[in-house]
Amino acid sequence: MQNRILYLLIFLLFIIISCKNDQKVLPNIDKSEVDFKFIEFDNELFELDTTILDKELINIKSKYPAFSELFFESILPIKDQNAQMSIDILNNFLGDPSLQSLGDTVSQVIDKSKLKAQFAEAFKYSKHYIPNLKAPNIYTLISGFAYQRFLFEDEDGDALGVGLDFFLGADYPYKKIDPKNPSFSQYQTRSFNQDHIVKKALETWIEDKIPPPAKNNLVAHMITNGKKLYILDQLLPTVSDTVIMEYTMDQLTWAEENQLQIWSFFFDQDLFYETNLRKLNKYINPSPDSPGMPPEAPGRIANYMGWKIVETYMSKYPDKSLEMLILEGDTQKILDMSKYKPRKP
């Protein structure tokens, strides 16, 4: 009996040590400081004094000139038929009961202090890995379900707009907003929650830094998207891979356990150098599935494979920095040098 207990303890100790060895070795960013602004524009907008709205509008435009121009001319156009800023339109917007209710829901669901801390941590990792890349300012807003995230330039450089009304949780009735809009399909809205805000916002920022594929085939898109996922994983090292890929745990497990099957499918179907984007769409863009594969296969499965290839490439050449990875536009070179071999089940 004592021997069995001893063997069990040794086995458990082996498992614990193995798990620790599998964990990422993270750089120490505790003393790192990042310079970015977290601007709660949605709060400031709804706190405007409507009795002096003309002066309030001047003040907020003076405070945030670039974002105000974008917001009041494109996101919430408040120009009248004479192309003049209309106080009446803005007043009606701020007084709209449905919008006020939406603002209350955002305040209840989104923890902004936590959100700011998550962005700060990601930008500390960004500063560590890519020192010359300045962190963008963050503007939170409510767009009335028009814009989820977007990149623009403000007075300091890069800035990200984050529409918090797109992150109210999978149970929020997004489908009722526009039943025909694929953006509100269940496989999309499953990730409309706070856990995914930073990932989705940073994805938009990173996409702007990575050169588009030089070629228009599956390998080029696969590796380019894999680069984005790899960089996201470095900037969000404590975030689950289910968030990075926007997969359920079952989907992620299936992808991990079936890399050889996925690779064989692309090879058998002669898809690696296919240039017809209609054939490739669901393998690289949001989709509930990957055509021709088992029903368990999630969409964007080629991106997952691209991530594994880039991961292999970077582990094989540890002297290569994230900045070097970003600038490397030869996707075929990355594939060849990685000598990637799909994991067998």
- Which domain-ending residue is among 183, 207, 231? 207
Instruction: Please report which confidence band the pLDDT of residue 344 belongs to, taking 50, 70 and 90 as the band edges.
Output: confident
In a domain, 267, yes or no: yes
In a domain, 3, yes or no: no
CB neighbourhood size of 7 (10 A): 10
Residue 176 scores a pLDDT above 50:
yes
Closest CA to 205 of 161, 151, 135: 151
Give me the domain span that covers residue 233: 210-338
Q: Are residues 198 and 241 in the same domain?
A: no
Q: Are residues 135 and 43 in the same domain?
A: yes
- The whole-number pLDDT of residue 82 equals 59
What is the percent of the chain with per-residue pLDDT over 90, rounded to a whole number? 80
Those residues with Cβ within 8 angstroms of residue 130's Cβ, 6 or more apart along the chain or in another chain: 321, 322, 323, 326
Q: Are residues 178 and 81 in the same domain?
A: yes
Residue 316 scores a pLDDT above 90:
yes
Q: Are residues 148 and 42 in the same domain?
A: yes
Q: Are residues 180 and 228 in the same domain?
A: no
Q: Are residues 128 and 182 in the same domain?
A: yes
Instruction: Please report which confidence band the pLDDT of residue 125 belongs to, taking 50, 70 and 90 as the band edges.
Output: very high
With beta carbons less than 8 A apart as the criterion, state whether 146 and 129 touch: no
Q: Are residues 196 and 111 in the same domain?
A: yes
Q: Are residues 47 and 183 in the same domain?
A: yes
In a domain, 16, yes or no: no
Alpha carbon 300 to chain centroid, angstroms: 14
Q: Are residues 154 and 286 in the same domain?
A: no
In a domain, 15, yes or no: no
In a domain, 2, yes or no: no
- What's the mean pLDDT in 88-117? 93
- Which domain-ending residue is among 207, 227, 247? 207
In a domain, 233, yes or no: yes
- The whole-number pLDDT of residue 23 equals 59
In a domain, 12, yes or no: no
- The whole-number pLDDT of residue 5 equals 44
Q: Are residues 224 and 193 in the same domain?
A: no
What is the number of structural domains in the chain?
A: 2
In a domain, 33, yes or no: no
Q: Are residues 159 and 227 in the same domain?
A: no
- The whole-number pLDDT of residue 88 equals 87
Q: Are residues 134 and 63 in the same domain?
A: yes
- The whole-number pLDDT of residue 89 equals 86
- Give burial (CB, 10 Å; 0-12/13-18/19+) of 133: middle
SS3 202: helix
Supply the mean pLDDT for the chain: 91
- Which domain-ending residue is among 191, 207, 223? 207
Rounded to 5 degrees, φ, ψ at 242 are -65, -30
Q: Global pTM?
A: 0.90
